[in-house]
Amino acid sequence: MGILVLTALIAVAGPLFSPWEATETNLVSRQLPPAFVDGGSADHWLGTDRQGRDILIRVIVGARISLTIAVLTIAIGAVVGTTLGVIAGYRRGWFDAVITRLIDGMSAFPPILVALAVAVTIGSSLWVVVGVLSLTLWSRYARLVRAETLSLRQREFVLAAIVTGCSRARIVARHLLPNVMSTVVVFSTLQVGYVILSEAGLSFLGAGVPPPTPTWGGMIADGQDYIDSLWWMAFMPGVAIAAVIVSANLLGDWLRDEFDPRLRVL
């Protein structure tokens, strides 16, 4: 949690305290190694790339892009998937059949291929990435919430609400949704790594946020041909991706244990 909070704070406030711009080039300072390596400069802690752009500020701005996409994608996917999943699990019938077929259909399309097709058709942008990842993510939420709702609808408190004459909307809003929210919260933390890695993969393939906006995947793509000489160009954003994904997954595991007493270690 500390790493994720620190990353978010740096992404928000970091550029305000940096003397460099993410797209600022300086051919005099090009290809400088990190400050802790021989030949490095204290003015560029993580070195510079082939155009003299500061790697540190580009990693910080890339963190802002990745976290923004993760928050928007997970929010959209969670709202849409949870709503459809709980309604399908409670109502059953034709609505459940339609949602189930949609879930199965979305699971058959890899998000990378969908994003590449969309990028070629209408162009790549931040909102295109958010839309494509949300389109593939909602089905994960819907499948999970539907299964949880199918179990909850047979519980005594739901049956009691039906007997007392509660409407379907009230049962869903007051009895089902609160009981699936813990599962949704835990699942959302586990999806942070998936979204960030997917966004990095899209940017690496040229279907993500277009340049000159720096992204972690784009920085790795820029440095892949110079890994033997300018290793820091790809290594630094790679470390950032790994740190955020591992932290998010560990946080998700901890939240799962806390929300489920059966998994707590005494």
Q: What is the CATH classification number for the domain harbouring 80? A: 1.10.3720.10
Per-residue confidence band for 261, with pLDDT thresholds at 50, 70 and 90: low
In a domain, 17, yes or no: no
In a domain, 229, yes or no: yes
What gap in Å lies between CA 206 and CA 226, rounded to an integer? 18
On the question of pLDDT at 63 being above 80, the answer is yes
In a domain, 14, yes or no: no
**Which residue, chain included where needed, has tokens 């890899």?**
110
What gap in Å lies between CA 190 and CA 156, rounded to an integer? 31
Angle at 76 between CA 93 and CA 143, to 5 degrees: 35
In a domain, 11, yes or no: no
In a domain, 42, yes or no: no
Neighbouring C-beta atoms of residue 110, cutoff 10 Å: 11
Number of domains in the chain: 1
pLDDT at 71: 93
On the question of pLDDT at 185 being above 80, the answer is yes
In a domain, 20, yes or no: no
Region 209-223: mean pLDDT is 89
Query: What's 54's DSSP letter?
Result: B
Please list, in sequence order, all residues whose beta carbon lies within 8 angstroms of the beta carbon of residue 20, skipping any fewer than 6 positions away: 44, 53, 54, 56, 57
The half-sphere exposure of 65 on its side-chain side, counting CA atoms within 13 A, is: 32
Q: Could you list the residue range(s) of the whole structural domain that residue 78 is in?
A: 53-263
In a domain, 39, yes or no: no
What is the value of pTM for the model shown?
0.87
Which has the closest alpha carbon to 203: 18, 31, 66? 66
What gap in Å lies between CA 248 and CA 243, rounded to an integer? 9
What gap in Å lies between CA 210 and CA 123, rounded to an integer? 9
pLDDT, tens only, 113-166: 877 787 778 877 888 889 888 888 899 999 999 988 888 888 888 888 888 888
Which has the closest alpha carbon to 239: 13, 15, 63? 63
What is the rounded average pLDDT for all residues in the chain? 86
In a domain, 157, yes or no: yes
